[in-house]
Structure 1
Amino acid sequence: MNSPSSPQPTPSSPSPTGAGSADGAAVRVGALVPLARPGWTESGRHLLAGLDLAVDEVNEAGGIGGRPLELVVRDTAADPERAAAAMDELAGRGVSAVVGEYHSVVARAAAGRADALGVPFLCSSAVLDALTEKETPWVARLAPAQSHGWRIFSDFLLERGRSRIAVVTQPSVYWATGTRLLRDRLASRGGTVEEFDAGALAPEALCDALADHGATALLLLVGHPEPAVPIVRAVRADPRLAELLVGAPAGQPETADWATALGPDGAGIPFLRYLPERLGPLGAGVRDRLQDRLGEAPSFVAFEGWDTIAVLAEALRSHGTDRAAVAAAWPHLAVEGTRGPIRFSRVPGLGVLQWAWPPVQVADRDPAAPDRFRVLHTG
């Protein structure tokens, strides 16, 4: 539910001529997806597959009041300025809403523009807590907040007896926030976090520093494939670090290109993903259809894409295609998603309407069969 002080969308909010018209034309929805480097393109491909599949299924079922749903895709390439510009362009094209994005700093830029323009934005995958600078009725999110997921990952580390943590980082508000969240959670339980700069240390020098430090776990708070892949190779090849647990809370090991690049070295590296331990009938059916499209097992990001369109389609059907009506729908929706029932609410400390919470797992690739995932912890 909206808090009493929450600003409410009104019919006078910006909406170009044609947005929400009932003349039989397609209902246009913008989609922001990282499809080019330096974006995590594998995740972008899975996100788009989920969005596309759900749009096709909505249209096969009659569309939105008999009107087809049309996805207008824009590649963000992990660039916040590019995402903001795309939001401006899509608003001018009369979309009823915008969905998607994987990278948190990119989604934050898009969410800020959505709020300024009065365009509903349903964020699929980005987790940064501060997605907007202030509370807004225009933005809703499916992915869990970073503080929620990374607390669960911290608890997993402590349960495994790993309290002396090293993190290798790159400059980014997302990585900096993750480091702070880890430090706060671990410090409250007697753990420590030491930070190493990936830009200042070559992989071999990082190994020397880790050996000197006596870390029991190394967390990769860096981009993929560079520099994550060479760091993992160097650590795995160093006998001094044979007992070091390597983790990647941001989810790099889920992607197929991680397994291709690292082979057995990429297994046994815990990461966060947002799936239940077992999919229900809806989720299993969507999984099978996504696998047919992708030619490989879908990541949790593909499920996020499908769920995004399922939620938005319900908003469009139940409240109409006008932008203010779509945004006003967020707190009233109850949608069966692939990973459970989806409802949005106000969560203290977050400025957006939030699904609280999707299922969270800590998983890894099984060293005995790197193409198979193991669930190590749930929260």
Structure 2
Amino acid sequence: MHTSPSSSSAGAQRTDGSPVRIGALVPLTRPGWVEAGQHLLAGLETAVREVNAGGGIVGRPLEMVVRDTAADPQRAVAAVDELAGLGVAALAGEYHSVVARAAATRADVLGLPFLCSSAVLDALTEQPTEWVARLAPPQSRGWRIYADFLLGAGRGRIAVAAQPSVYWASGARILRDHLAPRGGTVIELDSGALAPTAVCDELVHHRATALLLLTGHPEPAVSIVKAVRRDQRLAGIMIGAPAGQPEFAEWAALLGDDGSAIPFLRYLPERLSPLGARVETVLRERLGAAPSFVAFEGYDTVAVLAEVLRSHGTDRARIAASWPRVAVDGTRGQIRFSRTPGISVWQSAGTPVQVADRDPVEPDRFRILHAEPSAPGTGR
């Protein structure tokens, strides 16, 4: 782990009105999840505009330098190197967990503060680091909540259609470890090797009561959903997508009614704060659609960094040292960071978790099926 501040022009305090620059990592092209990247970027840019409208960073404009990661870890590492060389004070963003892990590891080596917006993989870095903090809840917390929801719905024989990935493998392991002591079972199906109709045959053979899509979007997830919905043998099975695929409009556009009643995880409170409601209106106008939780994550990321920069300046080491002292009102509640057992980065503990789905009667409306509020003492 990097333990000494890097030498950079970003470490000097300036009063000449020059911009304070932060770097943003966002998936904006395939094979990245482009719609998620667009929502993340909308949240980031909306907050930057509001910071500057309110006087910037002690009179200096906040400038965001955006780099497209395209869900490629090597591309993300190259972007981190480039942004560090450009003198950014900190990094923000990224949606894909495997990409964020590569970026976080490199940021730790360089001594560059990184506030990760959306990625949930528990092991965001191999070793504990002071340089990285995260807004999204860790995968272990969200997916255990999801597993409890499945058991509460009477779904104990869980099949997972999975692709090879650290993220998907971690999710399957969390589910298995949490369900087994409670009488549940997890059956793994290789969605890369099995055609959608073969997935259906396996579900029947194993008498699965739920199928979870731990696989790419839109394909093969969309084809699997269509096949299962059309197989009369599987009329009673629940389809789930804990990674959040049904949150986005593309899902509904591709699947129509077939995309409803598929529970997924989202990180929103049952009711937004006044700040959250105002930001939702702005984001809805910008996106032309309801903003996802990812857009709120983007906004909150900049809100935190702006407050840190105002209070502690642009020196990278001072920014990293400030994580445990952060107390910022975000769109979904107050944001604070602490050390969490088993998590290698500074973790926001206050993010609410929902299990939601699209209403079969009105697919553009979301139903909250289960909600876990913020952790105690976080302002919600």
Residues 218 and 245 in structure 1, CA contact (< 8 A), matched pair in contact too: yes
How far does residue 356 in structure 1 lie from its aligned partner after superposition?
0.7
Whole-angstrom CA distance in 2 between matches of 1:365 and 1:220: 16
8 Å contact 1:100–1:124 — kept in the other structure?
yes
Q: Is the 8 A contact 1:33 1:76 kept in 2?
A: yes
Give the TM-score of the pair, scaled to structure 2.
0.96
Aligned twin of 1:237: 230
**Does residue 129 of structure 1 match 2:126?**
no
Report matched runs for 1:223-372 at 5 Å. 223-372=216-365
SS in 2 for 1:102: coil
Partner of 2:96: 103
* Deviation (angstroms), 1:15: 3.3
Aligned residues: 371
Q: Out of 323-332 and 140-149, give the one that drifted further.
A: 323-332
Secondary structure of the 1:369 match is coil
Distance 1:344 1:116 in 2: 21
In the alignment, which residue of structure 1 is the partner of 2:175? 182
How far apart are the structure 2 equivalents of 1:146 and 1:206?
25
Residue deviations 1:207-252 (CA, integer Å, cap 9, x gap): 1111111100000000100110000000001010010000000000
Aligned AA (1:260) = A
- 1:191 match: 184
Per-residue CA distance 1:56-88 (angstroms, 9 max, x = gap):
000000000100000000000000000001000
The aligned residue for residue 37 of structure 2 is 44
Residues in 1 aligned to 2:230 and 2:95: alpha-carbon distance in whole angstroms: 32
Tell me the alpha carbon deviations over residues 12-60 of structure 1, each in whole angstroms, 9 at most, x when there is no partner. Answer: x113225444132100100000000111110000000000000000000
What are the within-5 Å matches in structure 2 for residues 207-218 of structure 1? 207-218=200-211
Q: Given the alignment of the two structures, is residue 15 of structure 1 paired with residue 17 of structure 2, yes or no?
A: no
Matched, 1:202 2:215: no
Name the stretch that deviates more: 49-58 or 207-216: 207-216
Instruction: Please state how far the C-alpha of 1:328 moved relative to its aligned partner.
Output: 1.0
Taking every aligned residue pair, what percent have the same amino acid on both sides?
71
Query: What does residue 154 of structure 1 align with?
Result: 147
CA RMSD, 1 decimal: 1.0
Is this contact kept in 2: 1:34–1:75, CA < 8 A? yes
Contact 2:10 2:315 in 1 (8 A): no
The alpha-carbon deviation at position 104 of structure 1 amounts to 0.2
1:9, CA displacement in angstroms? 5.9
Distance 2:326 2:276 in 1: 19
SS at 2:341's partner residue?
Answer: coil
> What letter matches 1:297 in structure 2?
A
In structure 2, distance between residues paired with 1:332 and 1:113: 24
- 2:114 maps to amino acid: F
Given that 2:10 and 2:89 are in contact with CA atoms closer than 8 Å, whether structure 1 keeps it comes out as no
CA contact (8 A) 2:333 2:350 kept: no
Distance 2:12 2:270 in 1: 39
Q: Deviations over 1:176-203 (max 9, x none)?
A: 0000000011101000000000111000
- Output the amino acid matched with 1:214: R
The alignment partner of 1:165 has SS state of strand
Whichever residue aligns with residue 246 of structure 1, its letter is I
Following TM superposition, where does structure 1 have runs of at least 4 consecutive aligned residues deviating by more than 3 angstroms? 7-10, 18-21
In structure 2, C-alpha distance between the alignment counterparts of 1:79 and 1:227, rounded to whole Å: 19
Distance in 2 between residues matched to 1:8 and 1:221, nearest whole Å: 34
Cα distance in 2 for partners of 1:124, 1:59 equals: 20
Alpha-carbon offset, residue 259 of structure 1: 0.4
1:222 and 1:198 map into 2 onto residues whose CA distance is: 7
Q: Secondary structure at the match of 2:270?
A: coil
Q: Is the 8 A contact 2:214 2:241 kept in 1?
A: yes
Contact 2:94 / 2:119 at 8 angstroms: preserved in 1? yes
Amino acid at match of 1:239: Q
* Structure 2 Cα separation of the partners of residues 273 and 156 of structure 1: 13
SS at match of 1:362: strand
Contact 1:19/1:95 (<8 A) preserved: no
Letter in 1 for 2:132: V
Q: Does 1:91 align with 2:51?
A: no
Question: Contact between 1:9 and 1:328, CA under 8 Å: does it hold in 2?
Answer: no
Distance of 1:307 and 1:17 partners within structure 2: 26
**CA separation in 2, counterparts of 1:354 and 1:18?**
25
The letter for the 1-side match of 2:193 is A
CA distance in 2, matches of 1:59, 1:9: 32
Mapped to 1, the partners of 2:139 and 2:199 lie a distance apart of 26
1:72 lines up with 2:60 in the alignment:
no
Alpha-carbon contact 2:244-2:266 (below 8 Å) kept? yes
Q: Indicate the SS of the match to 1:215.
A: coil
Distance 2:120 2:9 in 1: 33
Structure 1 distance, partners of 2:118, 2:54, is 26
